[in-house]
């Protein structure tokens, strides 16, 4: 994103409205969807950074994030979020994989149209971010301390502030 | 029928941008920058990447719309592109475009499928770093749009005339949202 600054600004604004502004789903749940989809796309950078952000938000912790990566169906989350993650998993495969039964199940568990819309769009957006990051072979840090800093900063500030990790 | 309650007289992506305009705004700005902003690639070449990825994702709405847009732009019709086309070798395009579309083909599968060899081939036929960057991001962006449009089962018209009209709109007005939103027209296309 530093490579093409105008595009970087638009991408951060998209992340901001999708994940950090007010919405029907909590910020934690939206970050969990982002991290989960990234895990299905095997994008280490996005999996780890959005997992760390979710862990720093109210109701989040690292054990919960890891339980969702491993098997969201047995993770300690409510049935609505499980149904939404099932939709997100289908979206990661392709939009046409989402069935009426997936949607009905989410609605029966209390998922609103806005919840379902935002789930599909967050999942679709991370199918973009994951491909962008890995398609250009961007550097993926291995140091857990890096993701700890990113998680704390983005959970507190959203996506429009300058990264504390970038030196002038 | 769409999975959520959308404007009944809007179709495909337009019905979704109308549903959540606060998210549509940065998405439209991103699209405008990538497909209409300053670039060493022509608008037809960039539209062709969008059409190609949408075909691979079997997204009829996006594939038809961006193929129509490609054909309306200078050099587009001569390329021989058609809706839902996946065969790059059938296109009358430069080696550089073939190299870039091959990268887009890998991106559609997943980002980690792009190899150093794919990048080297594109560079050897004259592609710059910025062109490779924009190709990867346009391909990724259409992996977003295709999932968004089909994941919510938006209405997909079957009439070619619908896509010609849409193609004219996006090749003349571009991708920024009209200030007063999208107009539903009286024209009622057949739906797939």
Residues 104-123 on B with a CB inside 8 Å of A are 106-107, 110-112, 114
Whether residues B111 and A130 touch (CB distance < 8 A) is answered with yes
Contact A106/B at CB under 8 A:
no
Residue A167 in this model has a pLDDT that exceeds 70:
no
State ipTM: 0.97
| DSSP annotation string for B76-88 | TGGGT--TT---G
* Backbone angles phi and psi of A150, in degrees to 5: -60, -45
Please check whether residue A28 is in contact with residue A65, taking contact to mean a CB–CB distance below 8 angstroms: no
Contact A98/B at CB under 8 A:
yes
At B180 the pLDDT is: 82
Per mean pLDDT, which range of A45-49, B83-87, B119-123, B188-192 is the poorest? B188-192
Contact B101/A at CB under 8 A:
no
Which residue does chain A place closest to B112, by CA atoms?
A134
Give the Cα separation of B108 and B125 in Å (integer). 22
Those residues with Cβ within 8 angstroms of residue B45's Cβ, 6 or more apart along the chain or in another chain: B75, B93, B97, B100
Residue A131 in this model has a pLDDT that exceeds 80:
yes
Contact A108/B at CB under 8 A:
no
Whether residues A4 and B152 touch (CB distance < 8 A) is answered with no
Average pLDDT over residues A63-79: 98
Per-residue pLDDT band at A1 (split at 50, 70, 90): low
Those residues with Cβ within 8 angstroms of residue A16's Cβ, 6 or more apart along the chain or in another chain: A158, A159, A160, B26
Q: Go through chain A and tell me how many residues it has.
A: 168
Whether residues B111 and A21 touch (CB distance < 8 A) is answered with no
Residue A138 in this model has a pLDDT that exceeds 90:
no
What does the pLDDT look like over B30-69, one tens digit per residue?
999 999 999 999 999 999 999 999 999 999 999 999 999 9
Please tell me which of the candidates B34, B140, B151 has its beta carbon nearest to residue A98: B151
- Whole-structure pTM value: 0.97
Please tell me which of the candidates B110, B145, B152 has its beta carbon nearest to residue A117: B152
pLDDT more than 90, % of chain A: 89
Give the Cα separation of B163 and B142 in Å (integer). 17
Contact B192/A at CB under 8 A:
no
List CB contacts (< 8 A) between A10 and chain B. Answer: 26, 29-30, 33
């Amino acid at each position: 994103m530093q490579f093409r600054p105008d595009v970087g600004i638009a991408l951060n604004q998209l992340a901001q409205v999708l994940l950090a502004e007010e919405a029907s789903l909590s910020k934690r749940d939206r970050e969990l969807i982002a991290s989960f989809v990234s895990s299905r796309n095997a994008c280490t950078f996005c999996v780890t950074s959005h997992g760390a952000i979710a862990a720093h938000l109210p109701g989040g912790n690292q054990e919960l994030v890891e339980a969702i990566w491993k098997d969201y169906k047995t993770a300690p989350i409510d049935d609505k979020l499980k149904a939404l993650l099932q939709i997100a998993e289908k979206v990661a495969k392709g939009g046409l994989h989402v069935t009426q039964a997936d949607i009905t199940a989410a609605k029966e568990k209390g998922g609103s149209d806005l919840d379902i819309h935002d789930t599909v769009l967050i999942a679709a957006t991370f199918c973009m971010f994951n491909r962008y990051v890995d398609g250009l072979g961007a550097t993926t840090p291995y140091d857990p301390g890096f993701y700890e800093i990113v998680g704390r900063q983005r959970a507190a500030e959203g996506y429009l502030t300058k990264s504390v990790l970038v030196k002038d | 029928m769409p999975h959520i309650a959308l404007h009944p007289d809007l179709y495909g992506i337009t019905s979704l941008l109308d549903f959540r305009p606060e998210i549509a705004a940065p998405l439209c700005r991103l699209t405008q920058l990538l497909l209409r902003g300053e670039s060493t690639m022509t608008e037809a070449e960039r539209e062709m990447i969008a059409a190609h990825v949408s075909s691979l994702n079997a997204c009829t709405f996006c594939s038809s719309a961006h193929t129509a847009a490609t054909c309306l732009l200078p050099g587009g019709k001569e390329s021989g592109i058609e809706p839902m086309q996946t065969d790059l070798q059938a296109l009358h395009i430069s080696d550089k475009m073939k190299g870039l579309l091959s990268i887009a083909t890998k991106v559609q599968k997943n980002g980690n499928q792009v190899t150093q060899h794919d990048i080297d081939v594109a560079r050897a036929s004259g592609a710059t770093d910025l062109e490779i960057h924009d190709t990867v991001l346009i391909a990724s962006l259409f992996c977003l749009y295709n999932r968004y449009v089909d994941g919510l089962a938006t209405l997909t018209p079957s009439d070619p005339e619908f896509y010609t009209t849409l193609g004219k709109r996006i090749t003349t007005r571009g991708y920024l949202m009209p200030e007063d939103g999208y107009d539903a027209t009286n024209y009622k296309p057949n739906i797939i």
